A and B are shown apart, each in its own frame.
Chain A
Amino acid sequence: MSSAESTVIEADKQVQTRHLPGDLAMWCFILAELLAFLLLLGSMAFARGHWNEMFSAGIATLHPEAGLVNTLILLTGSYFAANAVKRTAAGDQRALSRGFVLAALCGLAYVAIKITEYGILFGDGYNLRTDTFYFFYFFTTFFHMAHVLIGMAILLVVAQRSRAGHYANQEKVRMAGESAASYWHMVDLVWLVLFPLLYVLP
């Protein structure tokens, strides 16, 4: 066998062994969401550069500690979801519901902190119409928070169905778990980019 043939066979093996985590339909949904966030975050990055002073003044009124704590919480939630999927694949029957509930609780803590932050800002007289910065801040973070809530709902539905023995076999449990976790990680990935734009960059 020539080296070219063995290279082709090796590449073919790699394609066959590559594993899509979750359902293809879920990934189409995730990629559509990422496209929407690309436009939103790209616009925000442009606005941040264009109205630099307005953004600096607006950022100074935010609560950076809340942003930091929320980042740590979402990362921990992603860990719980990923760990649940890995343990389920290893045969732990109850890992999925336990891990997903923990991840959803992290999401709940995130939402509670975000709503508290909104409450303080509204109390200080800032809202969506104050200026371009606050428009981007409220619109983008609210849009993201809505995705956190959707992610929590998906995690809890899969956790409950898994616990109730709704899935016909272990393969179906794995597929549902990977799909739900992938969506949750997407929400986390978007926040990882949003976080420095609003709370870290000088």
Chain B
Amino acid sequence: MKHLLKFALAGLLLLTLIGWWLGHSFDGTWVVVCVLALTLVKGQWLIDQFMDLRSAPQWLRWTVSGWLVLVLGAAALFNI
């Protein structure tokens, strides 16, 4: 628990590098899906670990997570 934030940061940096590598090494619809999925995971991780909305009122957590899903959904809808 003590190092949870450090693990979260390491995970976020790692997922960023993986997404970057995928986007610049491959082409095609599956890459778009993978990169957007990685962004969804990263965003939710940030919401839960850094914003600390896991233990916040549910309406707030759902609103911010809903925002993330909406924006990435728009990106997927118009770019796949």
Chain A residues at the B interface, C-beta cutoff of 8 Å: 15, 17-21, 27, 31, 34, 37-38, 41-42, 45-46, 48-50, 64, 68, 71-72, 75-76, 78-79, 81-83, 85-86, 178, 181-182, 185-186, 188-189, 192-193, 195-197, 199-202
Q: Which of B5, B60, B74, B75 contacts A27 (CB 8 A)?
A: B60
Residues in chain A near residue B32, CB distance under 8 A? 201-202
Total A-B pairs, Cβ < 8 A: 132
Q: Which of A15, A81, A199 contacts B50 (CB 8 A)?
A: A81
Residue-wise, chain B 53-70 has the 8 Å CB interface mask toward A (1 for contact) of 101111010011001101
Does B39 contact A21, Cβ atoms closer than 8 Å?
Answer: no
Given contacts A48-B79, A79-B50, A185-B50, contact A200 B72 (CB under 8 A): no
Residues in chain B near residue A193, CB distance under 8 A? 39, 43, 68, 71-72, 75
Chain B residues at the A interface, C-beta cutoff of 8 Å: 5-6, 8-9, 12-13, 16-17, 19-20, 22-24, 26-28, 31-32, 35-36, 39, 42-43, 46-47, 49-53, 55-58, 60, 63-64, 67-68, 70-72, 74-75, 77-79
